[in-house]
């Protein structure tokens, strides 16, 4: 794989993780509490997320801070950044897992493509589309896809699902 | 085309709605947090004192420090510390938990005016580790019970030596509810000395 593709993928992964973590934090600030077991002292196991709203020149700004509390009310302020970093890391791991699962599925389906049944049937969910569209070249030779495939061919489509068209 | 624009608007409206409705799920505001702290006893933390003393000693580069007073509030302790290099001068250090980056930390020292105090500095300063503050958590629980205020909490504690010559170092814990305040004092050995309604 080309270095540019790898770099682009890593950048997309990084940005997607940060954006998702920020959205999760805004919608569900209580997600910070998930990290209390690793961030809170043993004698202060109860986690609270406190929201602070401040008036700024741009409007109202709210930030969320994780606190740990003990039985007698003694508390420690963990802050915002460490829980947010952990949340981002957890979400990045989730994205990686998701991509891995989809890539595996795509790989499996590409290498175990079922024979095309030209007589109809089995294609009920692909009925949409013009019926007279030219049938795509089927079944490119199985094997590593190399740069020789670079010209925009149908096999470069990102979908890993085998495309079937009903022949009429 | 119109369908696509409509769908985009619907998605945007849904996201805005989720953000508006969902914002703050699982979080509380600072007043609710303070109420929770008070319902548990006030949040005066003995470990802050020992950690604060260690942090100041490290900052000054000495093994032991001498202090004029120790003041404890929820989440923080303030120490008025005699400077080893300038024995007639005091600096105020605050050690506590606050800030977006979290954790506990020592503030920059603030110089204190000591015009009248410097005269009897030697007789008033004390070793903060030898005046019963290692029992602060027990003292707070005892003070709340001794104050007899239903729903009362310990709002602050202060440790100083009395002004009379040879006076003991005492810790005064203020217990309050929404209407009354009681000060409970303890000696340097941690025994309860006095319960004084204010």
Q: For the CA atoms of B72, B76, B82, B86, what is the dihedral angle to 10 degrees?
A: -160
Q: Is the pLDDT of residue B48 over 60?
A: yes
Q: Number of A to B CB contacts under 8 A, please give it.
A: 111
On whether the pTM is more than 0.90, the answer is no
Q: For B100-144, what is each residue's pLDDT tens digit? A: 455 678 888 999 987 655 567 888 899 999 998 999 999 999 999
Nearest-by-Cβ selection for A71 from B28, B40, B104: B40
Nearest CA distance, B121 vs chain A (angstrom): 32
Q: What is the pLDDT of residue A3?
A: 85
Question: Cβ separation of A51 and B28 shorter than 8 Å?
Answer: yes
Cβ atoms < 10 Å from Cβ of A76: 24
Q: What is the pLDDT of residue A162?
A: 41
Place of tokens 């303070």: B34
Question: Cβ separation of B47 and A74 shorter than 8 Å?
Answer: yes
User: What is the pLDDT of chain A when averaged over all its residues?
Assistant: 75
Q: Is the pLDDT of residue A109 over 90?
A: no
Q: Pick the residue with more confidence: B115 or B179? A: B179
Q: For B68-103, what is each residue's pLDDT tens digit? A: 999 999 989 999 999 999 888 999 999 987 654 556
- Residues contacting A78, CB < 8 A, separation 6+: A39, A40, A65, A66, A67, A68, B102, B103
Q: How high is the ipTM of this complex?
A: 0.81
Q: How confident is the model at residue B2 (pLDDT cuts 50, 70, 90)?
A: low
Q: Name the interface residues of A facing B (CB cutoff 8 Å).
A: 26-33, 43, 48-53, 62-67, 69-82
Q: Pick the residue with more confidence: A61 or B157? A: B157
B26 Cβ under 8 Å from any chain A Cβ:
yes
Q: What is the pLDDT of residue A113?
A: 66
Percentage of chain A surpassing pLDDT 90?
Answer: 33
Q: Is the pLDDT of residue A165 over 60?
A: no
B14 Cβ under 8 Å from any chain A Cβ:
no
Strands (E), chain A: 46-56, 59-69, 75-79
Half-sphere exposure of B195 (CA within 13 A, CB side): 13
B residues 157..196 contacting A (CB < 8 A): none
Q: Are B45 and B104 in contact (CB under 8 A)?
A: no
Half-sphere exposure of B20 (CA within 13 A, CB side): 6
DSSP B91-109: EEEEEEE-STT-SEEEPPP
| Cα separations in angstroms, A108 against A88, B20, B161 | 30, 42, 79
Tokens of A88: 């981002």
Q: What is the pLDDT of residue A158?
A: 44
Q: Is the pLDDT of residue B191 over 60?
A: yes
Q: Give the span between the Cα atoms of A102 and A112, in whole angstroms.
A: 15
Q: Give the span between the Cα atoms of A2 and A147, in whole angstroms.
A: 10
Sheet containing strand A75-79, strands side by side? A75-79, A59-69, A46-56, B27-29
User: What is the pLDDT of chain B when averaged over all its residues?
Assistant: 87
Question: Cβ separation of B140 and A72 shorter than 8 Å?
Answer: yes
Q: Is the pLDDT of residue A153 over 50?
A: no
Nearest-by-Cβ selection for A77 from B45, B97, B141: B97
Cβ atoms < 10 Å from Cβ of B100: 11
Burial of B162 (C-beta count, 10 Å sphere; 0-12/13-18/19+): exposed
Q: Give the span between the Cα atoms of A40 and B35, in whole angstroms.
A: 20
Nearest CA distance, B86 vs chain A (angstrom): 33
Q: How confident is the model at residue B195 (pLDDT cuts 50, 70, 90)?
A: very high
Q: Is the pLDDT of residue A97 over 90?
A: yes
Q: Give the span between the Cα atoms of B70 and B49, in whole angstroms.
A: 8
**Which of A2-16, A28-42, A108-122, B131-145 shows the lowest per-residue confidence on average (mean pLDDT)?**
A108-122
């Amino acid at each position: 794989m080309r270095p540019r593709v790898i770099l682009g993928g890593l950048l997309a992964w990084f940005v997607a993780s940060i954006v998702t973590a920020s959205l999760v934090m805004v919608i569900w600030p209580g997600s910070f509490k998930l990290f209390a077991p690793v961030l809170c002292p043993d004698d202060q196991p109860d986690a609270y997320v406190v929201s602070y709203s401040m008036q700024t020149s741009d409007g109202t700004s709210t930030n969320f801070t994780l606190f740990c509390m003990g039985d007698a009310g003694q508390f420690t302020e963990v802050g915002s950044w460490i829980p947010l970093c952990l949340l981002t890391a957890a979400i990045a791991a989730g994205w990686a897992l998701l991509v891995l699962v989809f890539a595996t599925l795509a790989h499996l389906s590409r290498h175990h493509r079922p024979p095309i049944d030209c007589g109809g049937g089995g294609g009920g969910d692909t009925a949409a589309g013009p019926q007279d569209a030219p049938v795509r070249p089927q079944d490119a030779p199985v094997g590593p896809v190399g740069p020789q495939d670079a010209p925009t061919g149908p096999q470069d489509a990102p979908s890993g699902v085998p495309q079937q068209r009903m022949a009429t | 085309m119109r369908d696509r624009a409509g769908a985009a608007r619907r998605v945007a409206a849904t996201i805005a709605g989720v953000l508006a409705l969902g914002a703050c799920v699982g979080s509380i505001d600072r007043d609710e947090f303070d109420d929770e702290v008070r319902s548990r006893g006030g949040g005066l933390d003995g470990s802050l004192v020992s950690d604060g003393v260690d942090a100041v000693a490290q900052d000054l580069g000495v093994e032991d420090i001498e202090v004029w007073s120790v003041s404890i509030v929820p989440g923080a302790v303030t120490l008025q510390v005699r400077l080893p290099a300038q024995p007639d001068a005091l600096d105020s250090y605050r050690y506590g938990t606050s800030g977006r980056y979290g954790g506990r930390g020592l503030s920059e020292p603030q110089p204190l005016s000591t015009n009248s105090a410097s005269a009897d500095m030697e007789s008033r300063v004390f070793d903060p580790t030898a005046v019963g503050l290692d029992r602060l958590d027990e003292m707070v629980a005892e003070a709340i019970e001794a104050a007899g205020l239903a729903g009362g909490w310990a709002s602050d504690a202060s440790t100083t030596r009395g002004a009379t010559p040879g006076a003991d170092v005492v810790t005064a814990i203020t217990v309050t509810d929404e209407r009354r305040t009681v000060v409970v004092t303890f000696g340097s050995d941690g025994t309860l000395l006095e319960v004084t309604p204010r």
